[in-house]
Amino acid sequence: MKKIILSNTFLIIVLSSFSQLDQKNFEKTFNQEIDAVEGENSVQRENHSALYQYVPPQQVPEWFIQPMVSDKNEVFAIGISDPGLDSIQSMQQAVYRAEIMANVLLKSTTQLLCDFFLNEVDKSTNIVYEHFTRITSKIPFTSEYYTVVDSFRNAFDETLVLIKYTTPKAIESTELGEINLEFYKNETESSSQGELESIYELQVKSPSAPEPKVHFYQLTEFGPRFDVISDLKGQEVQIPIYSLSYQGIPALDSVNQCYFSHGLWKEYLKSVMTQIIETARVKPGSIKFLGDAYQKSSYQKLTRGISVNKQRFVITGIKAKENKLLVMMQELPLDE
């Protein structure tokens, strides 16, 4: 009996030592990660901001909810700045984003890849989807092609801009910048719960010499958490979580106000990307069944869907539902 007691005591001591070692290792990792986040070269993270807490709901202009009709020669597009910028910065940012949107609507190429995993190894019901989509377009930076039709600035220090883009007949490739809109989504479904991670990213590179200019915007969603990083004069900054409410947007539910935590641009860009991707997804693509060499550690029955589509769109209206902005778009045939 004494030997059994001694053995159990020894086992408890050993397990306790391992637990303490794991704790120390994790504490070391924790400190490294926190130091990295608080480092001078890191993006500064902010939580909620009370800056606009008591500002009443802001109206949107009429041309925002009833877009002007575009054709192949003239494209009307809207750009929106981040909240909290001064009038000059917000105007510049909104105009630039409108120029980006005009070229994405005029002609873009959508490349879509979707992986499907079914977990059969552990006899569970877990299903995993991974989506990656890249929407690409070209953008001329010559100012003569773009005209500001109207602008509007609200009390959240956002500027909304409506521009007209007169499409050039021909332009040198050296005068064109590159637009990349990328979307990544990881979705896990099980019998007990689901997890969702999505990343929406906008990046533009201009042909400016000697160093190309880069415009960057990223929205990360992980469950209920939203994280927005925006480019301001070449520096990446995080947009705080504000309490921003809007009115005047036609609602598909009984709510007459919308609450957007990071402003209108996040919702507008996300909805435009979603509509383009959904349109591309329903078009025919190729399906591959991948072999064992590609399998993840515990997932089998992998299929992969791939499609590439060239598309052109016009925006026909704006709606709101459940604190989400819905940009309504119509696909048009491309010119040969």
Sign of CA dihedral 263, 95, 200, 308: positive
Say if residue 265 is in the same domain as residue 231.
yes
**Rounded alpha-carbon distances, angstroms, from residue 309 to 80, 93, 98, 115, 316:** 27, 29, 23, 18, 21
pLDDT at residue 190, rounded to an integer: 61
At residue 259, the 3 state secondary structure works out as strand
**Residue 43 has what pLDDT?**
47
State both tokens at 311.
């598309």
Residues 29 and 103 in one domain: no
Count the neighbouring beta carbons within 10 Å of the beta carbon of residue 254.
Answer: 5
pLDDT, position 102: 97
Cα(45)–Cα(35) distance, integer angstroms: 13
Distance of CA 83 to the CA centre of its chain: 17
Q: Which residue segment(s) compose the domain that 28 sits in?
A: 1-42
Give the predicted TM-score (pTM) of the model: 0.81
State the pLDDT at residue 136: 96
Residue 234 is predicted with a pLDDT of: 75
Classify the phi-psi angles of 301: left when phi > 0, otherwise alpha if psi is within -120 to 50, otherwise beta: left
Place of tokens 């935590």: 261
User: Tens digits of per-residue pLDDT, 249-298?
Assistant: 999 988 889 999 999 999 999 999 999 999 988 877 666 665 555 555 55
Q: Are residues 239 and 222 in the same domain?
A: yes
| CB count in 10 Å sphere of residue 316 | 13
Instruction: Please indicate, yes or no, whether residues 76 and 111 belong to a single structural domain of this protein.
Output: yes
27 and 151 both lie in a single domain: no
Which residues of the chain are modeled with pLDDT < 70? Answer: 1-23, 34, 36-46, 116-127, 189-195, 208-213, 285-302, 336
Tokens 């591959």, residue located: 288
AA letter at 272: V
Do 27 and 63 share a domain, yes or no?
no
Give pLDDT tens digits for 301-317.
567 778 889 999 999 99
pLDDT at 114: 82
Q: Is 136 found in the same domain as 191?
A: yes
Per-residue model confidence (pLDDT) at position 334:
85
Phi then psi dihedrals of residue 57, to 5 deg? -55, 140
User: Do 105 and 218 share a structural domain?
Assistant: yes
Per the structure, how many domains does the chain have? 2
Instruction: Report the pLDDT value the prediction gives residue 232, as an integer from 0 to 100.
Output: 77
90 and 172 housed in the same domain: yes
Give yes or no: residues 201 and 283 share one domain: yes
Residues 320, 123 contacting (CB under 8 angstroms): no
CA distances from 63 to 67, 69, 158, 316 (A): 5, 11, 16, 11
Amino acid 42: pLDDT: 47
